[in-house]
């Protein structure tokens, strides 16, 4: 504003000086360089230049991985399309082959999984049978040992001991009878045949007692301990076999399960690859995501800058089409930092398109940028903020990139105190006017400025309606 006032002041000064030095001109009338403070209606508008763009637009790019995206159909440039219309068709043959190959591999691995599952079930059943068999053998060994330790062993020992005692008693009885016969012989009552018979019988009984004693002692000290040790060894061996069978079963089942898991992992990998291949196959057709107009995107292709065409091979993320929705258009522009206070979301503006100057469109401010960008001007660096206006009407003549001019109504003031902007001067941060007093002299008076446009400034305080103010500094 300071620069603007200085330029106006300079122009007025030059005009006054040229008139003064013109030679035949008379001194200007005072009312030619003064004006009255008056109340009036006025508006504050912000005028900017912008560019039309679609409110909704999408860059159509190739999404196929690798370099197999060969275009076999491409919709014509400038075509109006509806949502779902086919825009681009890539050659699907290599992707169809990949899908069929992966389907066959998935089926093969699926069968392998079923076979591996059956193998796991078989190994579980086999291990269960082996464990059950070894558990049975262990129980038999335990029972045999218990029978020997608590039944047959003690019973046989008692039997042999009883036989020994029986042989001993029989031997003792015959020995007493033999002694009785010898006593009778000493008394003169000798029975030679009886004595010989008893001597023979005692000899036999001694052998029988000796044999019974040996059998008893041998069984008790040697045979039974050996049998018990053997039974104990059989039991321990059965326990060891059972543990080994269990561990071996765990290993067999784990091995079969690991094989199953490995095949399942391969199956899942193939299924994922098949799913991705089917997605890639679907990507060979690109449909319009919304209504719009097709614009072929120009870029470098085959070492030349041109638009795409059928037969081209594209790479992933390479732009092909630009699809703006021209039914909803916006104006993108920027405003100076010093004018930002004049704007608020929801403000209306009048939009004129250079291509259609006779038609005015209504726009609404829908976006104000959060960050400023600096640009170089003749006066130095100046900051700007991006803003967007949405057009309120649909006109299919409008196209992205058209130049337009926006008049934004920032304020509309009714019957406020005003002066021309030429009457306001500034020194430092203070605004002031030269007010003409009753005797025609001009005095400096500080004023407070409100809203202003290119021609008029609102006076908040410092002046009264009807007072005269100078349009130039006194003495100029």
pLDDT in tens, 436-450: 988 888 999 999 999
Report the pLDDT value the prediction gives residue 121, as an integer from 0 to 100. Answer: 94
Report the pLDDT value the prediction gives residue 476, as an integer from 0 to 100. Answer: 57
What's the CATH code of the domain at 416? 2.40.30.170
Q: Are the beta carbons of 38 and 469 closer than 8 angstroms?
A: no
What's the CATH code of the domain at 190? 1.10.287
pLDDT top residue among 345 and 219? 345
Q: 61 in a domain, yes or no?
A: no
- If asked whether residues 133 and 204 sit together in one domain, one would say yes
Of the given ranges (258-272, 278-292, 294-308), which has the lowest mean pLDDT?
Answer: 294-308
Q: 64 in a domain, yes or no?
A: no
pTM: 0.56
Confidence tier at 74 by pLDDT (50, 70, 90): very high
Q: Where are the alpha helices (DSSP H) in 291-368?
A: none
Confidence tier at 6 by pLDDT (50, 70, 90): very low
- If asked whether residues 291 and 372 sit together in one domain, one would say no
Q: 62 in a domain, yes or no?
A: no
Q: Would you say the C-alpha torsion 211, 213, 216, 221 has a positive or negative sign?
A: negative
Q: 63 in a domain, yes or no?
A: no
Residue 17 above 50 pLDDT?
no
Q: 377 in a domain, yes or no?
A: yes
Q: What is the CA radius of gyration of the chain?
A: 60
Q: Residues with Cβ < 8 Å from 285, sequence gap 6 or more?
A: 86, 88, 89, 90, 92
- If asked whether residues 297 and 420 sit together in one domain, one would say no
Residue given tokens 């061996």 in the structure block: 237
Q: Are the beta carbons of 224 and 160 closer than 8 angstroms?
A: no
CA distance 180 to 198: 11
Residue that terminates a domain, selected from 231, 264, 282: 282
Which stretches of 267-420 are assigned E, i.e. beta strand?
A: 285-287, 292-293, 295-296, 299-301, 304-306, 313-314, 319-324, 329-336, 348-353, 356-368, 373-377, 380-391, 403-420
- If asked whether residues 126 and 272 sit together in one domain, one would say yes
pLDDT top residue among 89 and 199? 89
- If asked whether residues 346 and 466 sit together in one domain, one would say yes
Report pLDDT digits (tens) over 420-470. 999 999 988 899 999 998 888 899 999 999 988 889 999 999 999 999 999
Could you give the number of structural domains in the chain? 3
Q: 192 in a domain, yes or no?
A: yes
- If asked whether residues 220 and 108 sit together in one domain, one would say yes
CA distance 469 to 464: 10
- If asked whether residues 295 and 424 sit together in one domain, one would say no
pLDDT top residue among 356 and 476? 356
- If asked whether residues 261 and 297 sit together in one domain, one would say no
- If asked whether residues 175 and 277 sit together in one domain, one would say yes
What would the two tokens of residue 178 be?
């033999």
Q: 476 in a domain, yes or no?
A: no
Q: 475 in a domain, yes or no?
A: no
Confidence tier at 14 by pLDDT (50, 70, 90): very low
Report the pLDDT value the prediction gives residue 11, as an integer from 0 to 100. Answer: 45
- If asked whether residues 364 and 307 sit together in one domain, one would say no
- If asked whether residues 294 and 346 sit together in one domain, one would say no
- If asked whether residues 30 and 113 sit together in one domain, one would say no
How many residues belong to the chain? 476
| DSSP code for 128 | H
**Which structural domain range is residue 214 located in?**
96-282
């Amino acid at each position: 504003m300071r620069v603007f006032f200085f330029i106006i002041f300079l122009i007025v000064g030059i005009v006054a000086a040229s008139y003064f030095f013109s030679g035949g001109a008379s001194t200007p009338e005072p009312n030619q360089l003064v004006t009255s403070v008056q109340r009036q209606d006025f508006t504050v508008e912000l005028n900017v230049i912008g560019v039309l763009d679609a409110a909704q637009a999408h860059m159509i790019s190739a999404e196929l991985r690798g370099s197999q995206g060969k275009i076999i159909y491409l919709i014509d440039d400038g075509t109006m399309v509806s949502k779902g219309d086919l825009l681009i068709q890539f050659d699907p043959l290599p992707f169809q082959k990949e899908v069929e190959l992966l389907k066959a591999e998935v089926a093969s691995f699926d069968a392998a999984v079923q076979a591996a599952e059956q193998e796991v079930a078989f190994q579980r059943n086999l291990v269960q049978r082996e464990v059950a068999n070894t558990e049975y053998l262990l129980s038999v060994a335990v029972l045999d040992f218990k029978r020997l330790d608590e039944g047959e062993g003690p019973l046989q020992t008692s039997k042999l001991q009883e036989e020994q005692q029986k042989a001993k008693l029989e031997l003792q009885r015959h020995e007493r009878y033999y002694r009785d016969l010898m006593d009778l012989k000493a008394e003169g009552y000798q029975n030679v045949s009886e004595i010989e018979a008893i001597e023979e019988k005692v000899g036999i009984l001694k052998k029988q007692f000796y044999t019974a004693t040996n059998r008893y002692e041998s069984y008790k000290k040697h045979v039974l301990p050996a049998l018990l040790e053997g039974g104990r060894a059989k039991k321990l061996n059965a326990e060891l076999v059972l543990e080994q069978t269990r561990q071996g079963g765990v290993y067999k089942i784990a091995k079969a399960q690991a094989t199953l898991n490995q095949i399942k992992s391969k199956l899942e990998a193939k299924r994922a690859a098949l799913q991705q291949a089917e997605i890639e196959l679907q990507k060979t057709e690109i449909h319009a995501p919304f209504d719009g107009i097709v614009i072929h995107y120009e870029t470098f292709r085959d070492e030349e800058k041109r638009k795409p065409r059928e037969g081209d091979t594209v790479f992933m993320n390479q732009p092909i089409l630009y699809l703006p929705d021209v039914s909803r258009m916006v104006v993108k522009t920027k405003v100076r930092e010093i004018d930002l206070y004049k704007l608020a979301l929801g403000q209306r503006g009048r939009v004129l398109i250079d291509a259609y100057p006779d038609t005015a469109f209504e726009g609404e401010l829908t976006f104000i940028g959060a960050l400023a960008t600096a640009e170089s001007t003749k006066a130095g660096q100046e900051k700007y903020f991006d803003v967007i206006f949405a057009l309120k009407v649909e006109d299919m003549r409008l196209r992205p990139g058209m130049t337009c001019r926006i008049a934004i109504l920032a304020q509309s003031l009714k019957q406020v105190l005003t002066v021309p902007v030429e009457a306001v001067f500034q020194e430092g941060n203070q605004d002031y006017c030269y007010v003409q007093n009753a005797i025609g002299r001009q005095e400096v008076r500080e004023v407070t400025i409100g809203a202003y446009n290119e021609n008029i400034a609102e006076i908040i305080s410092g002046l009264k309606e009807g007072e005269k103010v100078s349009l130039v500094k006194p003495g100029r």
